[in-house]
C-alpha cells in the first residue's frame, strides 16, 4: 500500500476521502475548517449569538465528511478550543474519534523554555478541547519586523 503524498499532484481535485500523510504518520484531509474566529472577540468581534452559526458550521462539516478542525491556544485566548469541545459533546465517542483536531502553540518571548512550556501549553489545550490527544500539534512562527 502506497502512502498519500504530502502535496497533491497537479490536476487532482480533492474529495472528502482524500488524505495526505504528514511526517509519515498522520493522515489528514487536505482541507480543514479554520476556527480562528470562534470565540475571538478581539479580531473577529465574536458575540455569544455567533455560537449558533459556528455550531451549525461544525455540524455541517461533519455531515459533509470534512471532520478536520484547526484551532490554536491564542484563538480567542483559548475560547476557540472550548467552542470545539462544546460542539463535540453531542457526538458519540465513535463519531468524535473520526474528527481530526489540530491546534497550535504560540511562542511568546516569555514562553520559550522548551520543552516544559510547550508541554504545559499542550496540556492546557487538551483540557480546553476536552481530549486526551490531538491529531496535529503545531507551533505558530511569529513574524517580526
Catalytic residue from among 69, 75, 105, 137: 75
Rounded CA-CA distance 69/81 in Å is 10
The verdict on whether 108 is a catalytic residue reads no
- Comparing CA positions, the residue from 144, 126, 133 lying closest to residue 97 is 133
Q: Name the CA dihedral angle for 62, 63, 64, 65, rounded to a multiple of 10 degrees.
A: 50
The residue to which cell 462539516 is assigned? 61
Would you name the residues annotated as active-site residues? 75
Amino acid at each position: 500500500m502506497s502512502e498519500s503524498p504530502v502535496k497533491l499532484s497537479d490536476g487532482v481535485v480533492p474529495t472528502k476521502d482524500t488524505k495526505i500523510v504528514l511526517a509519515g504518520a498522520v493522515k489528514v484531509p487536505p482541507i480543514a475548517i479554520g476556527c480562528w474566529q470562534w470565540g475571538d472577540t478581539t479580531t473577529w468581534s465574536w458575540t455569544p449569538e455567533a455560537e449558533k452559526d459556528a455550531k451549525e458550521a461544525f455540524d455541517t462539516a461533519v455531515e459533509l465528511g470534512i471532520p478536520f478542525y484547526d484551532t490554536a491556544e491564542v484563538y480567542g485566548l483559548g475560547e476557540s478550543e472550548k467552542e470545539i469541545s462544546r460542539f463535540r459533546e453531542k457526538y458519540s465517542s465513535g463519531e468524535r474519534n473520526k474528527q481530526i483536531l489540530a491546534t497550535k502553540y504560540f511562542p511568546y518571548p516569555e514562553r520559550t523554555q522548551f520543552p516544559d512550556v510547550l508541554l504545559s501549553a499542550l496540556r492546557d489545550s487538551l483540557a480546553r478541547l476536552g481530549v486526551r490527544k490531538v491529531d496535529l500539534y503545531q507551533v505558530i512562527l511569529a513574524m517580526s519586523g
